[in-house]
Amino acid sequence: MSDKRWTRRELVKLLAAAPSLLLIRCVPSPQSGEASDYKASEHYWGYAVDTTRCIGCGNCMRACRAENDVSAGFYRTWVERYRVGLDGETQVDVADPETLAFEELSGEVSKAFFIPKLCNHCEKSVCTQVCPVGASIHTPDGVVLVDDKHCIGCGYCVQACPYGSRFIDPHTHTAGKCTLCYHRITKGEEPACVAMCPTGARIFGDLNDPRSKLSTILRQNRYRVLRPEMGTHPKCYYQGLDREVV
Amino acid sequence: MTFVFPNEANVTWTVMIVLYPFITGLVAGAFIVSSLFHVFGKSNLKAVARYSLVSAFVFLLFAPLPLLVHLGHPERAFNIMITPNFSSAMAGFGYIYAAYLLLVLLEIWFSLRSEFIARAKGRGLTAWICRVIMLYNLDEDESTKRADFKITRFLAGLGIPLACLLHGYVGFLFGALKANPWWSTPLMFVIFIFSAIVSGIAVIIFHYFVVSWINGWRVDQVCVRTLAKYLWGFMIVAVSLELLEILSLAYKQTEEWEVLRTLIDQKLFFTYIVLQFLILSLIPFLMLGVASLVKLKDRLAYALIWTASTMLLLQVLLMRWNVVIGGQLLSKSLRGFTNYLPGIWDREGLIVAAIIFTLPFGILYVFHRIIPLFPGAVKVRARTNRQAADTTAGIGN
Amino acid sequence: MNINEKNSKGATPRTSYRHTFRLAVLIIILVLAALLVRQILVPESFGLKGYYRAAAVDEAREFPIRHVGEKACIECHDDIASLHDKDAHAAVPCESCHGPGADHAQAEGETAILIPEGKDPCLACHRPLDARPSAFPQIRWREHYQFVGVKDTSIDCIECHSPHEPLFMDRDIRSARLHPLIHRCQDCHTERFDRDFHRPKSHPAIFECSYCHKEIVEDFSRRAHSEIQCSTCHMFFKESDFAGRIIRDSDPRFCLLCHREADFRSSDAPPGIKWPGHLEDVAMEPGDTKKRCVDCHREMIHKIMERPDSNE
């Protein structure tokens, strides 16, 4: 049995034609327009927590849950309580998942405090680095978002976040995390947790604006970030952070 | 008191993600054995060369299955090839896997071309399948066979780094994750590759003995003893690397060591210390050492080698478990642990895992019906029928 | 196969790759087809602004806002807001007690908003937790009820303390002047002390009212209210580690928090008066908003020392 022999010319013609097919979708699509007058390039959002003011009331958790339809058992923001006993042993706990309230615990403490936690919207976020499909988004205004329609739910970002801010949402089966209430901040509002905090423990603002409350606080006070050795450059700044907090 | 971040209570990467590196490890290991024959000319391994290549392919076909079962959106799985984010180790999976699949497929095509053509010349379904696989080109002579040989050798050689990449990227995926102190080590890439080779050789030995016993074949003594020596050598390297990693952590005692020590002492003591190292590494090491260095009667040697192989298969599976699950039991708050027990009937449970693991053996059997996986196997007794006399040419001696 | 073996004629045998042609073509076609399909399947806005689907950012902006903020509440409830903004709960957002208000605001009041009931909403913030900052008012409600003479424990906090005006402050705390910080024992010590305590010589200085206001404190200790702490009526709000703001609350309704006669009060409660009946009884016109308790009952409190910049 013998083959039909292709002449070299015919073969080259075939191969030359093929790459042109690839050009069909190379023309960029029309711009997805920026709605209204919000210009992402003008802002660079940040967050600060004054840990000396938090009273552990749980309003922030309730507000976030209501604002963002967060599934029960998962948290886009949460509050931790640290109790340092007289023997120097530290106990850490979180609020009850149902009532979002802290239970009263017995035992003498030499020091105790609350630490609100949330996604740090890191400048060099590990979650964005490890997402295999580009579903973790770094917006130009400094917010890290999840593309719910593109995420495949592999869970790599959940493993990669050093702060435990991410989870796989049991309803959407995609990654879930704090969005800094992007739908609010792009309309001039504050995130729900900041707006509902009764003691001003949570502060939100524009790092680009030197006169914003956030910039002023950062200029006037001493602050730290969580796990700076991870090299993630978080944009959530903590005042009064105790050495016990990881 | 133990504390985990509230989002960490559920373990995200389940037994499916333990199974996936185990299966790709079998692939890489089996492929290495096949390449030892095709590239490095270790003719001792001829008896298992074809089987190892085909089993590498079949396991490769099933490797994505645990991942698909695990994904939140398996229907979007191809996003990994449509919009791969190459800063992520996981993004390499799509293209590396496809390339490697193609390579192994081609190598089978070329190395078994004569076999396919021989069967394509008949009638019936099998013949038609073989004709389709050969693309209706049944032309062969000495010159094409020489070409087949050269191409097979080339592909087998190219496949070694590609196999290392296919399995190594999983190790890198874990080892490069700075957030998890149990995973984060530069050694992880190498540990995964070497333990993969161990598992590949072990599964070949395991399966070879089982299949020979079922079919009443004589086991190729030289082949098995060679494999055993390779297994011993590779397992020494693999276990040494695993030990080096943990000893290094234990010596440095950086901030995470407190919680890692508690992880090993409490949560992982049985699976890590007792099983992975003491029972399933030390004992096979001794068994294989004896079988390799001491002149033994075949029957005893085979018993040692087969048992050691089975134990090493379990050791590699446990190593994957201890890495994947162990790392997630540990909280990133460095203050506590969560729990994980795989469900039995869940989507990501033990029954599904068992099915995924045993299916490839079924497919291998189907392949064997078309083209025998162990050519040159000599039947020395009737199929597991003891009464068909243990003839003078019985198993072993 | 030994490919280096010479054939019977002594020449190196040929190698022919002709059988690979169909395979090569097939593979090339498949690869090109795969790349083409990939191009088609890339989502539309992908890669415009970065390695992500730009439309996803726009989608993230489209979620409904559920918490509308005080400015929306003020549009209808400005009377409550003006009281609220001057009193102790000024910094507490409306929706933190009443829940998300978007539906209620949009329906312009046609749909109900959550009205908290019972003691639990108040105690959520005000029950004592050792992790709470000591400057934050934490109430052991049973002891508090005992102290102010409430015998019926089923009554709620809001029976006396309006949630929007919990302390009936007569002026906005933020307009009060700064005052050096008054420390309490609990700020450093965990055990609870009685009000009488020994002051060791080497103990660091703690600001006490008597440090600066010795005459007033001595005078106060001889009068009817000597059991009460200075800071009960002169409310103190800590602003920093060193200073806070202090005012004296002289709104009559503040005094009534303890002194209003009610059937839920016990017999050993502070002397109760009927209100506003009391004003009639002493032949003052009711609704005379300028009259405060202290105008007549100065001798129950303490002498006012003449100071040019006092809060009078």
Asked whether B364 and B29 are in contact (CB, 8 A), the reply is no
Put simply, the answer to whether B91 touches A168 (Cβ < 8 Å) is: no
**Alpha helix stretches (DSSP H) within C66-212:** 70-84, 94-98, 102-106, 120-126, 141-147, 209-212
Q: pLDDT, tens digit, for every residue of B17-37?
A: 999 999 999 999 999 999 999
B165-to-A81, A154, B97 alpha-carbon distances in Å:
45, 20, 9
The token duo for C195 is 């009000």
C31 vs A contacts (CB less than 8 Å) = none
User: What ipTM goes with this model?
Assistant: 0.89
pLDDT surpasses 90 at C3: no
* Pairwise pLDDT comparison (B38 vs C308), residue with the higher score: B38
Residues in Cβ contact with C198 at an 8 Å cutoff, skipping those fewer than 6 apart: none
Chains B and C: how many Cβ contacts under 8 Å?
50
pLDDT surpasses 60 at C14: yes
Beta-carbon count within 10 A of C61 CB: 18
B5 vs A contacts (CB less than 8 Å) = 78, 117, 163-164
Q: Pairing relation of β-strands A45-50 and A202-206?
A: antiparallel
- Per-residue pLDDT band for A34 (boundaries 50, 70, 90) equals very low
The token duo for B364 is 């291998």
Q: pLDDT, tens digit, for every residue of C25-44?
A: 999 999 999 999 999 999 99
- Per-residue pLDDT band for A234 (boundaries 50, 70, 90) equals very high
Put simply, the answer to whether A1 touches B138 (Cβ < 8 Å) is: yes
Per DSSP (E only), the strands in C39-181 are: 178-180
The CATH number assigned to the domain holding C92 equals 1.10.287
* pLDDT at residue C250 in the model: 82
Are residues C90 and C173 both part of a single domain?
no
Give the global pTM.
Answer: 0.87
Q: What is the mean pLDDT of residues A120-127?
A: 96
Q: Which residues of chain B have pLDDT under 50?
A: 387-397
C100 vs A contacts (CB less than 8 Å) = 63, 66-67
Are residues C166 and C106 both part of a single domain?
no
Asked whether B396 and B298 are in contact (CB, 8 A), the reply is yes
B88 vs A contacts (CB less than 8 Å) = 129-132, 156
Q: On the CB side of B45, how many CA atoms lie within 13 Å of its CA?
A: 27
Task: Give how many domains chain C has, as a whole number.
Answer: 2
B145 vs C contacts (CB less than 8 Å) = 1
* pLDDT at residue A169 in the model: 96
The token duo for B30 is 């089996």
Is the minimum CB–CB distance between B132 and chain C shorter than 8 Å?
A: no
Q: Suggest the residue from C130, C136, C240 to mutate for an interface test with chain A (most A CBs closer than 10 A).
A: C130
* pLDDT at residue C5 in the model: 64
* pLDDT at residue A33 in the model: 43
Rounded mean pLDDT of chain B?
A: 92
Q: What is the mean pLDDT of residues A44-64?
A: 96
* Pairwise pLDDT comparison (A221 vs B389), residue with the higher score: A221
Q: Pairing relation of β-strands A45-50 and A236-239?
A: parallel
Searching chain A, which residue's CA lies closest to the CA of residue B137? A1
pLDDT surpasses 90 at C61: yes
Asked if residue C268 belongs to a domain, the reply is: yes
In percent, the amount of chain C with pLDDT more than 90 equals 42
Are residues C164 and C101 both part of a single domain?
no
Q: Which domain holds residue C89?
A: 66-115
Q: pLDDT, tens digit, for every residue of C189-208?
A: 666 555 555 556 666 666 67
As a whole number of angstroms, the distance between CA B300 and CA B165 comes to 37
As a whole number of angstroms, the distance between CA C141 and CA B17 comes to 53
* pLDDT at residue C261 in the model: 87
Are residues C83 and C227 both part of a single domain?
no
* pLDDT at residue A6 in the model: 55
Put simply, the answer to whether B178 touches A3 (Cβ < 8 Å) is: no
Of A214, B152, A29, nearest in space to C42 by CA: A29
Asked whether B371 and B115 are in contact (CB, 8 A), the reply is yes
Q: Which of C46, C64, C91 sits opposite A198 (nearest CB)?
A: C91
Asked if residue C22 belongs to a domain, the reply is: no
A148 vs C contacts (CB less than 8 Å) = 56, 59
Searching chain A, which residue's CA lies closest to the CA of residue C66? A67
Searching chain A, which residue's CA lies closest to the CA of residue B335? A92
As a whole number of angstroms, the distance between CA C68 and CA A184 comes to 10
Is the minimum CB–CB distance between A156 and chain B shorter than 8 Å?
A: yes
B90 vs A contacts (CB less than 8 Å) = 130, 132, 154, 156
* Pairwise pLDDT comparison (A26 vs A11), residue with the higher score: A11
Asked if residue C135 belongs to a domain, the reply is: yes
- Per-residue pLDDT band for C235 (boundaries 50, 70, 90) equals confident
Is the minimum CB–CB distance between B378 and chain C shorter than 8 Å?
A: no
Put simply, the answer to whether A132 touches B177 (Cβ < 8 Å) is: no
Is the minimum CB–CB distance between B144 and chain C shorter than 8 Å?
A: yes
A35 vs C contacts (CB less than 8 Å) = 58, 61
Put simply, the answer to whether A1 touches B12 (Cβ < 8 Å) is: no
Domain ranges of chain B: 12-176+343-376, 218-340
Asked whether C138 and C132 are in contact (CB, 8 A), the reply is yes
**Alpha helix stretches (DSSP H) within chain B:** 15-38, 46-62, 64-70, 79-82, 92-111, 113-120, 125-133, 142-175, 188-215, 221-252, 257-262, 283-293, 298-329, 350-370
Q: Kind and range of the H or E element at C60?
A: helix C54-60
Are residues C209 and C100 both part of a single domain?
no
Asked whether A217 and A203 are in contact (CB, 8 A), the reply is yes
As a whole number of angstroms, the distance between CA A91 and CA A105 comes to 11
As a whole number of angstroms, the distance between CA A189 and CA A187 comes to 6
B194-to-B32, B191, B197, B307 alpha-carbon distances in Å:
11, 5, 5, 20
Q: What is the mean pLDDT of residues C109-122?
A: 93
Are residues C80 and C220 both part of a single domain?
no
Put simply, the answer to whether C13 touches B106 (Cβ < 8 Å) is: no
C46 vs B contacts (CB less than 8 Å) = 83
Asked if residue C17 belongs to a domain, the reply is: no
Q: Which of B137, B139, B332 sits opposite A162 (nearest CB)?
A: B332
Put simply, the answer to whether C43 touches A150 (Cβ < 8 Å) is: yes
Asked if residue C312 belongs to a domain, the reply is: no
Asked if residue C277 belongs to a domain, the reply is: yes
Searching chain B, which residue's CA lies closest to the CA of residue A119? B7
* CA distance, residue A87 to nearest chain B CA (Å): 14
Asked whether A227 and C120 are in contact (CB, 8 A), the reply is no
Asked if residue C293 belongs to a domain, the reply is: yes
Asked whether B353 and B22 are in contact (CB, 8 A), the reply is no
**Alpha helix stretches (DSSP H) within C234-309:** 252-259, 277-281, 293-296
* CA distance, residue A96 to nearest chain B CA (Å): 10
Asked if residue C21 belongs to a domain, the reply is: no
Asked whether A63 and C67 are in contact (CB, 8 A), the reply is yes
- Per-residue pLDDT band for C310 (boundaries 50, 70, 90) equals very low
CATH code of A43-239, in short, is 3.30.70.20
Q: Kind and range of the H or E element at A83?
A: strand A77-85
* pLDDT at residue A183 in the model: 97
B43 vs C contacts (CB less than 8 Å) = none
Stretch 34-93 of chain B: residues touching chain C, C-beta under 8 Å: 78, 81-83, 85
